[in-house]
């Protein structure tokens, strides 16, 4: 949510800002703007809607001269998407310009205080308060650093902010708390941004700022201060992936590219962690003594990562014999979870920045529980805050609707299941070996789900179903959790009303909604429950539903006796089967969205990284 780019150098800033913002589009936004300091003025251009609107307004940036600037894509929180509410915001006297990601919780109080002192406001945003607060203090001291420090001391909430002052156009100040911000070290130029892709074309040397950090920089120099205001050294890390990893590379959409990347991503997650027939997780420090005294495991996350948590319940309970409870991060803090030294809290997040998930992690730590994070984005807030950390190493994921991050998070759960079960001795060696064997070949089986033949099949079925208004996804056991994710995919990118139900629950309500032509996606891969799921399929068919089935090769003939539209996936260990059965559901949602002309990579109202609660 919201993207920030700041540039100081010798090149024209505006095209660089637009380019950087285009790499942050994936975060979700509904307006965009830039501000360039030049010739004793702060020149602002903003436009509601897509970045292309802003770009055409300023001729791709060429129309705005100046070598220092800040840019922003806004995902509306305070005030509707509009030109006025877009960032950057300039303070009342026109001396300070600000872009901001996050929420200033006490902005109304600050706004009243500043209004009483003569400051006027044009927008409804909390960000305009930051600009005026900095200007208020700057008016008194004429010292930028002092003014920003005083302003920050009054601000409550979350923020990544980049600030320009008309009187000192060769300096930029950026501050960060609970919202992502990186600093990019260039040659004769420096950058700040919400995420690496925004500046990767210009530098690979980045530093992930800590909470409370402030950086004061020119084109040649940067001073870093920590939360206590002490000057500190922040080392540059070298980004080892290429910009092409964050570009479409010939695919029509990032989503289909990332679907295709899943075998490689899964291999990248799993294979370095299997050595000599054992799962080796050097990155974490869970001992047998610690695990033996555990009474409960929570898995806390949002969105698709939460559905990985739902799958983790089946997988970890079966292999480790520990009670596992998946909890939505937005509910976790307020449900008074039973936390203590005997509780392990597994936090799952692609971005590592999701506000609710980060808050849940902090709450778990505050209550004395050990936290283990499964994160994709290196150096993100959750990665830094957790006691133990396992990176998914999926590479950058750009499409808002996750695919490869989901698959790699699930792969980490398998690894953890084997690792913990080995320490606790809860799995017979034969079973451990059987799962490990399948895990080592999982990437190849996932690849078999994405063959050209399968793509054409899914495209064909999408053509049959793309006009439906409602869909239901049903399955049992792990299949029911796969249904949750498949249903979410269809909702988020194809805008079709869709619900997922444990198949056995159908008769307790949802079956009343089944009528002629309702789409029911039935996932039936769990051998012991196949017949039961098929009974549910027959029940909905009898009421007119159009059923699309997903099963393993073993049950293909059986399911075809009842269901005419069927896609099969290869068979693997039952606990690993979700990694295969999710693929046709991702593809079905993708092709249906394509046929409905939806904005697949940037679905309406959604954001990749949800940094507000
Ligand atoms: C958003 C994304 C989802 C993601 C969820 C949690 O809703 O669109 O794809 O699953 O946030 O994000 P996280 O970065 O914490 O995994």
DSSP for 505-548, written as a single string: GGGGTGGGG--TT-EEEEEE--GGGHHHHHHHHHHHHHTT-EEE
**How distant, in Å, are the alpha carbons of 96, 177, 331, 380 from that of 386?**
36, 17, 19, 11
Please tell me whether residue 44 adopts helix, strand or coil conformation: strand
Please tell me whether residue 606 adopts helix, strand or coil conformation: coil
Closest atom of ligand 1 relative to the 329 alpha carbon: 15
What is the CB < 6 Å shell around ligand 1?
A: 302-305, 349-351, 354, 357, 400-402, 606, 608-610
Q: Rounded to an integer, what distance in angstroms lies between the CA atom of residue 252 and that of residue 5?
A: 26
In this structure, the number of other CB atoms found within 10 A of the CB of residue 274 comes to 15
Residue 78 has pLDDT above 80, yes or no: no
Between helix 303-320 and helix 404-424 the angle, nearest 10°, is: 20
User: Per-residue confidence at 85, pLDDT binned at 50, 70, 90?
Assistant: confident
What separation in Å is there between the alpha carbon of 388 and the centre of ligand 1? 21
Of 254, 347, 349, 402, the residue with max ligand 1 atoms within 8 A of its CB, to mutate for a pocket test, comes to: 402
> So what's the pLDDT on residue 250?
80
**Which is higher by pLDDT, 512 or 221?**
221
User: Per-residue confidence at 367, pLDDT binned at 50, 70, 90?
Assistant: very high
Closest atom of ligand 1 relative to the 606 alpha carbon: 8
The DSSP code for 202 is: T
Q: Rounded to an integer, what distance in angstroms lies between the CA atom of residue 446 and that of residue 443?
A: 5
In this structure, the number of other CB atoms found within 10 A of the CB of residue 544 comes to 11
| Strand-pair category, 324-328 with 231-232 | unpaired
Dump pLDDT digits (tens) for 220-273.
999 999 999 999 999 999 998 777 777 777 899 999 999 999 999 999 999 999
Residue nearest to atom 4 of ligand 1 (CA): 303
pTM of the model: 0.82
Of 29, 255, 303, 386, the residue with max ligand 1 atoms within 8 A of its CB, to mutate for a pocket test, comes to: 303
User: Per-residue confidence at 413, pLDDT binned at 50, 70, 90?
Assistant: very high
Residue 447 has pLDDT above 80, yes or no: yes
Q: Rounded to an integer, what distance in angstroms lies between the CA atom of residue 418 and that of residue 199?
A: 39
Closest atom of ligand 1 relative to the 401 alpha carbon: 9
Catalytic residues: 2, 608
What separation in Å is there between the alpha carbon of 442 and the centre of ligand 1? 24
**How distant, in Å, are the alpha carbons of 175, 313, 364, 508, 539 from that of 369?**
30, 18, 5, 37, 45
Q: Taking the chain, what is the end-to-end CA distance rounded to the nearest angstrom?
A: 11
Q: Rounded to an integer, what distance in angstroms lies between the CA atom of residue 70 and that of residue 192?
A: 9
Dump pLDDT digits (tens) for 537-560.
999 999 999 999 999 999 999 999
Please tell me whether residue 578 adopts helix, strand or coil conformation: helix
């Amino acid at each position: 949510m919201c993207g920030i780019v700041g540039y100081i150098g010798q090149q024209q800033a505006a095209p660089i800002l637009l380019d950087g913002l285009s790499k942050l589009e994936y975060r979700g936004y509904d307006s965009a703007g830039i501000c360039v300091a030049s010739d004793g003025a702060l020149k602002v251009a903003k436009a509601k809607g897509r970045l292309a609107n802003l770009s055409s307004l300023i001729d791709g940036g060429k129309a705005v001269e100046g070598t220092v600037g800040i840019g922003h894509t806004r995902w509306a929180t305070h005030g509707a998407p509009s030109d006025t509410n877009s960032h950057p915001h300039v303070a009342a006297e026109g001396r300070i310009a600000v872009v901001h990601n996050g929420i200033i919780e006490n902005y109304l109080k600050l706004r009243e205080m500043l209004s009483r002192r003569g400051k006027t406001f044009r927008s409804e945003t909390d960000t305009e308060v930051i600009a005026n607060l900095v200007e208020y203090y700057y008016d008194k001291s004429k010292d930028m650093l002092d003014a920003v420090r005083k302003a920050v001391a009054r601000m409550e909430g979350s923020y990544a902010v980049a600030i320009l002052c008309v009187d000192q156009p060769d300096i930029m100040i950026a501050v960060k708390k609970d919202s992502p911000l990186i600093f990019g070290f260039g040659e004769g130029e420096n950058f700040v941004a919400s995420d690496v892709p925004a500046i990767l074309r210009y530098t690979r040397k980045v530093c992930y700022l800590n909470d409370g950090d402030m950086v004061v920089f020119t084109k040649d120099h940067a001073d870093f201060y920590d939360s206590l205001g002490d000057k500190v050294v922040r080392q540059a890390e070298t980004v080892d992936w290429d910009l092409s990893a964050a570009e479409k590379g010939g695919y029509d959409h990032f989503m289909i590219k990332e679907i295709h990347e899943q075998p490689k991503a899964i291999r990248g997650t799993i294979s370095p962690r299997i050595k000599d027939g054992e799962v080796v997780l050097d990155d974490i420090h869970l001992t047998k003594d610690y695990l033996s005294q555990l009474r409960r495991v929570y898995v806390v996350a949002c969105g698709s990562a939460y559905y990985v948590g739902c799958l983790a319940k089946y997988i970890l309970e079966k292999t480790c014999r520990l009670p596992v409870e998946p909890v939505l991060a937005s509910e976790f803090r307020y449900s008074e979870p039973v936390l203590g030294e005997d509780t392990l809290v597994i936090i799952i997040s692609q971005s590592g920045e999701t506000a609710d998930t980060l808050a849940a992690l902090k709450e778990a730590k505050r209550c004395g529980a050990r936290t283990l994070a499964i994160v994709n984005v290196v150096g993100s807030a959750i990665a830094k805050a957790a006691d133990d950390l396992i990176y998914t190493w999926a590479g950058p994921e750009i499409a808002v609707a996750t695919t490869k991050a989901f698959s790699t998070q699930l792969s980490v759960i398998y690894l953890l299941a084997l690792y913990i079960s080995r320490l606790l001795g809860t799995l017979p060696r034969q079973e451990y070996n059987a799962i490990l064997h399948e895990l080592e070949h999982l990437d190849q089986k996932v690849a078999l789900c994405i063959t050209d033949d399968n793509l054409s099949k899914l495209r064909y079925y999408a053509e049959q179903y793309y006009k439906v208004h409602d869909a239901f996804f049903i399955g049992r056991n792990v299949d029911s959790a796969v249904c949750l994710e498949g249903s979410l995919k269809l909702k988020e990118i194809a805008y079709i009303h869709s619900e997922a139900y444990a198949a056995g629950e159908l008769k307790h309500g949802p079956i009343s909604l089944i009528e002629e032509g309702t789409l029911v996606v039935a996932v039936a891969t769990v051998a012991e429950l196949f017949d039961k799921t098929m009974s549910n399929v027959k029940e909905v068919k009898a009421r007119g539903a159009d059923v699309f089935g997903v099963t393993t090769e073993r049950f293909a003939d059986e399911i075809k006796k009842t269901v005419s539209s069927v896609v099969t996936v290869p068979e693997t260990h039952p606990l690993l089967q979700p990694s295969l059965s999710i693929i046709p559901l991702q593809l079905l949602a993708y092709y249906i969205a394509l046929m409905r002309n939806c904005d697949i990579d940037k679905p309406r109202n959604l954001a990749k990284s949800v940094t507000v609660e």
